[in-house]
């Protein structure tokens, strides 16, 4: 006999009391925490419980009975559907407070180390159109909203092609985007132009489930220098169709600095292992920061909020407290942005990064900026940063580390502890894994300064910089 689905309750007149991680809101019902989305503290709602555990529940808002005085009007027509900018109905000052609390709670709860006073979070000057990179996906089966489905309309003859964002948790569902407030308006213009041309010329949009079609993804980069890179990814080659679309883009957007295409016939969308081909212009664009120019290729990582990246790196440099005599290791260096940024204040900087293409860009960035006191190495961090490596290049005075969301591998932490640099500057996009690593470093280091930085307004994501000194 099969297990019956449990009927979960509808909770009425529930007041939202706070915000939580992952952009969720929280309420309390009979001492049990309930997580939900797309509401703010002070809202009174009816909640349909969708999941019930011993210590918490999850629910979907069915009706808002009373709007909070703290609620803002959503500025995007796609709010609540695309999955991005979940906090746009929360005042920005409230967002910053929530992120500050997130940093504090993670460091205290997970890190379990002695903490100094945390500096007030650095808010972003731009809270819309702050991103320098967006990726959009083609799909021949666009996502229909709940309202559209509930209407009973027939979509048999409806144009089901979409160019937009994946619906969270649904790999084969794409929301067709009309307007996105994350990037410069030129991004909307380029996306709409491609979509219109593709429909007019019957270019097949990608079938995400059956892995077939022609148009797969586009990536738009807009640099602080005004330069634009557009990467168009096709599933298979069709020279006539490809050249028709790309020539149309050249004619329509002469301001595009770098027009690149990729033929990606793999199952996944990543292009790191694919050939990138220049159709028009350069194979790169430049970002600029404090007089330094950084080469950005189609596979390069660069902080997606350029002005705020400058603020972040200034914090990291200040925490490093360089005098010009230090040997600095820059771990997870990417394209060498931080390495070049601090090189003028250091004796020597050694950068390590997993992606070989990024390291090549890092070397070019150093050369272009006449920086001759850097060395860069490509490879898995835990395999490169060893006792032998430290013995060869010298014991670092300062380590700056900016790992991915998973944090540092335990072997990397162990090598750092053995190397015993005087100072560590830990830049993190995930305070939870940062806190875990701080707990490991606590064997020899004490935390001396903490500075959260908001890189992504209207989201729960927060960067955090921690300074540590040898005990």
Q: Which residues are catalytic?
A: 429
Closest CA to 140 of 205, 69, 57, 220: 205
Burial class (CB in 10 A: 0-12, 13-18, 19+), 146: exposed
Q: Quick one: CA dihedral 357, 358, 359, 363, positive or negative? A: positive
Q: Which pair of tokens denotes residue 13?
A: 């007149």
- What order do you get walking across the sheet with 32-36 strand by strand? 10-15, 44-52, 56-66, 32-36, 25-29, 18-19
Q: Which pair of tokens denotes residue 149?
A: 């489905």
User: For residue 467, what are the β-bridge partners?
Assistant: 425, 449
- Between CA 384 and CA 327 the distance in angstroms is 17
- Between CA 182 and CA 128 the distance in angstroms is 6
Strands 133-139 and 162-166, how do they pair?
antiparallel
The answer to whether 439 touches 113, Cβ cutoff 8 Å, is yes
The answer to whether 221 touches 229, Cβ cutoff 8 Å, is yes
- Between CA 166 and CA 134 the distance in angstroms is 12
Q: Which pair of tokens denotes residue 410?
A: 């335990």
- Between CA 416 and CA 394 the distance in angstroms is 13
């Amino acid at each position: 006999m099969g297990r019956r689905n449990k009927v979960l309750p509808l909770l009425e007149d529930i007041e939202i009391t706070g915000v939580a991680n992952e952009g969720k809101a929280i309420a309390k019902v009979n001492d049990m925490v309930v997580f939900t989305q797309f509401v703010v503290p002070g809202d009174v709602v009816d909640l349909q419980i969708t999941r019930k555990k011993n210590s918490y529940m999850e629910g979907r808002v069915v009706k808002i009975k009373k709007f909070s005085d703290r609620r803002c009007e959503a500025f995007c027509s796609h709010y609540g559907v695309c999955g991005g900018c979940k906090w746009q109905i929360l005042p920005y000052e409230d967002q910053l407070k929530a992120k500050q609390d997130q940093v504090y709670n993670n460091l205290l709860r997970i890190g379990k180390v002695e903490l100094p006073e945390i500096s007030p979070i650095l808010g972003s000057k731009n809270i819309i159109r702050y991103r320098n990179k967006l990726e959009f996906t083609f799909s021949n089966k666009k996502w229909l909203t709940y309202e559209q489905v509930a209407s009973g309309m027939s979509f048999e003859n409806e144009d089901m092609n979409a160019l937009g964002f994946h619906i969270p948790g649904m790999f084969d569902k794409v929301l067709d985007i009309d307007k996105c407030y994350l990037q410069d308006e030129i991004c909307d213009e380029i996306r709409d132009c491609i979509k219109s041309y593709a429909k007019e010329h019957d270019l097949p949009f990608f079938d995400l489930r059956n892995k077939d079609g022609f148009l797969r993804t586009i990536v738009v980069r807009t640099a602080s220098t005004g330069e634009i890179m557009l990467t168009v990814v096709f599933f298979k080659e069709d020279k006539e169709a490809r050249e028709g679309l790309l020539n149309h883009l050249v004619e329509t957007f002469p301001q595009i600095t770098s027009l690149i295409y990729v033929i990606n016939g793999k199952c996944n969308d990543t292009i790191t292992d694919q050939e990138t081909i220049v159709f028009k212009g350069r194979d790169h664009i430049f970002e600029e920061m404090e007089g330094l120019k950084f080469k950005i290729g189609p596979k390069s990582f660069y902080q997606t909020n350029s002005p705020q990246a400058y603020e972040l790196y200034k914090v990291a440099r200040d925490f490093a407290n360089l005098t010009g005599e230090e040997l600095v290791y820059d771990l997870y260096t990417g394209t060498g942005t931080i390495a070049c940024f601090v090189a003028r204040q250091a004796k020597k900087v050694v950068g390590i990064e997993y992606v070989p293409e990024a390291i090549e860009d890092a070397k070019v960035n150093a050369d272009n900026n006449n920086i001759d006191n850097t060395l860069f190495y490509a490879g898995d961090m835990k395999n490169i940063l060893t006792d032998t490596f430290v013995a060869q290049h010298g014991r670092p005075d300062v380590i700056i580390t900016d790992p991915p969301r998973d944090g540092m591998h335990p072997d990397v932490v162990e090598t750092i502890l053995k190397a015993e640099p005087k100072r560590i500057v830990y830049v993190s996009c995930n305070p939870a894994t940062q806190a875990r690593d701080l707990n490991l470093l606590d064997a020899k280091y004490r935390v001396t300064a903490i500075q959260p930085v908001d890189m992504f307004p209207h989201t729960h994501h927060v960067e955090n910089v921690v300074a540590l000194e040898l005990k």
